[in-house]
């Protein structure tokens, strides 16, 4: 059975960030993830994890100026030095937090850079990062993201992600498979998940439309959770959704899976 992690960037967002760890534990979660840890001291985050008996499941490599609209820069030819510096920073945080997965956001394809050049840059950056993370005991992930929420995002499909894994050729590169994003871009969630399961190291969920909790939209999550179980997926599932009202009010869907 998969294990569920609370995404603290989105859930329990009516309390201060550091207090969300306790809120997640009180709700029954055993793991947490969030976009970025870099605004806080690693020691403070580690204390919150330890005090609440939580596992740090995942966070992202540095992704640029988020408030200004950057969504990663791994495909940007002019940002290779920034990418390499970000790898070092992320590994330091992940090691301190006991986090064994880091997600690399490919970024929006830069204006004036064709797709071939962006892809070659992404491949080179991933080939650089994968062995560094492996030596630290950390998996490197890439995530396809839908182009409705992030127009121009370079990596936007499962087949595209799998081809990148093949071309990089590293044993330490995997897919972060967000079912919300892939429902928007592809549909056919269960067969795709099954076909690419050996490449998938982490799954994230939200319903669509609205990106709210499971049960609020069109995705049949009970069916998909059962399929994960049948397929032997026993890794983490990150709950990366926007609560329709409050986090607590919308947690009814998960209670059978946390018991």
Q: Which residues contact 140 (CB under 8 A, 6 or more apart)?
A: 102, 104, 126, 129, 130, 133, 134, 170, 172, 173, 174
CA distance 259 to 252: 12
CB 123 within 8 A of CB 164: yes
Backbone φ, ψ for residue 68 (5° rounding): -90, 0
| Assigned token pair, 85 | 């510096």
What residues pair up with 175 in beta bridges, in sequence order? 142, 200
Annotated catalytic residue, options 70, 143, 194, 226: 143
Query: Is residue 143 annotated as part of the catalytic site, yes or no?
Result: yes
Annotated active-site residue in 33, 186, 218, 240: 240
Catalytic residues: 143, 240
């Amino acid at each position: 059975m998969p294990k569920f992690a609370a995404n603290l960037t989105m859930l329990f967002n009516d309390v201060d960030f550091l207090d969300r760890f306790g809120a997640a534990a009180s709700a029954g979660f055993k793991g947490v993830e969030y976009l970025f840890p870099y605004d806080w001291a690693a020691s403070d985050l580690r204390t919150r994890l330890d005090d609440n008996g939580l596992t740090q499941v995942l966070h992202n490599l540095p992704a640029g100026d988020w408030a200004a609209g950057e969504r990663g820069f791994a495909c940007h030819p002019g940002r290779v030095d920034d990418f390499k510096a970000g790898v070092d920073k992320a590994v330091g945080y992940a090691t301190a937090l006991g986090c064994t997965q880091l997600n690399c956001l490919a970024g929006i394809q830069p204006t004036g850079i064709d797709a071939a050049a962006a892809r070659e840059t992404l491949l080179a950056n991933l080939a650089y990062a994968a062995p560094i993370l492996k030596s630290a005991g950390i998996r490197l992930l890439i995530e396809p993201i839908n182009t409705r929420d992030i127009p121009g995002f370079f990596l936007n499909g499962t087949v595209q992600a799998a081809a990148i894994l093949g071309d990089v050729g590293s044993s330490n590169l995997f897919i972060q498979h967000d079912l919300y994003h892939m429902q928007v871009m592809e549909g056919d969630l269960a067969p795709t998940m099954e076909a690419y399961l050996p490449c998938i190291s982490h799954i994230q969920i939200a319903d669509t439309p609205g990106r709210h909790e499971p049960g609020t939209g069109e995705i049949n999550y009970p069916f998909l959770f059962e399929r994960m179980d049948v397929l032997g997926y026993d890794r983490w599932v990150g709950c990366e959704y926007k609560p329709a009202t409050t986090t607590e009010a919308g947690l009814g869907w998960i209670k059978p899976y946390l018991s």
